[in-house]
Amino acid sequence: MFVTFEGIDGSGKTTQIEMFDDWLHTQNITHTRIKEPNERTPIGTFIRKFLHERSLEWEFPTTSQLYLFLAERYYDSEFVIKPAIERGCTVICDRYHHSTLAYQCGVHGVDLNTYWFDNLPGEGIIRPDIVFLFDLDPQIAATRMDDRDRSKFDDFEQEKHEKIRQTFLNLSGRDDRVVILDATLPSEEIHVKVIKVFESHDLNKGAKG
């Protein structure tokens, strides 16, 4: 099974994937955890450098940025995710295709063309079985950030993150794999919901198989 965790910065998705990772260990469920961009791949390493060195941002047109993320996703799908699933592993991923679309479309104005979303399997990019979307108001997210990261949420950044949030929600309306979770709830309560959805999906998948 392939499960992804999505949401704006400060939504708590990384906390939830860590809790879920720990739970999978306690249940002796064979799994692997990845994060996009995947710094263990050549393309992912380049993207992380690109993201952290702001001076590089304007050297790439917006559409080029989108293709750069898609190139890394092809690599991950072919050499990381698919082989793990074929070995019987559950794959959990911190950010995936929904994040790329939400950030590129919500911030940079890339057209949310259905091609990028509806034709992933035909293009060699594996689709997740479950997408957990941790939904949170950017103003609340800002209060969760430490001093070092709070600069991400000045007035302009809050407006940007609201656009990202809305794009996430728009995408969820087109994808029945998305499970929207209220990120204002206590972490443990959200964690229980994640487990219930996962177990329910696993049982249904087993029944169909």
Domain boundaries, the chain: 2-208
pTM of the model: 0.85
Q: Does domain 2-208 have CATH number 3.10.180.10?
A: no
| Residue range 42-92, pLDDT digits in tens | 777 777 776 666 544 456 667 777 778 888 888 889 999 999 999 999 999
Q: In which residue ranges of the chain is pLDDT below 50?
A: 55-57, 147-148, 153, 206-209
List, as own/partner pairs, every contact residues 180-185 make where C-beta atoms lie below 8 angstroms and the sequence separation is at least 24, other chains included. 180/133, 180/135, 181/132, 181/133, 181/134, 181/135, 182/135, 183/7, 183/11, 183/12, 183/13, 183/134, 183/135, 183/136, 184/136, 184/137, 184/140
Looking at the DSSP assignment, which residues form a beta bridge with residue 132?
5, 179
Average pLDDT of every residue of the chain: 82
What is the rounded distance in angstroms from the CA atom of residue 84 to the CA atom of residue 79?
9
Phi, psi dihedral angles at 187 (to 5 degrees): -55, -45
**Is the Cβ–Cβ distance between 181 and 133 less than 8 Å?**
yes
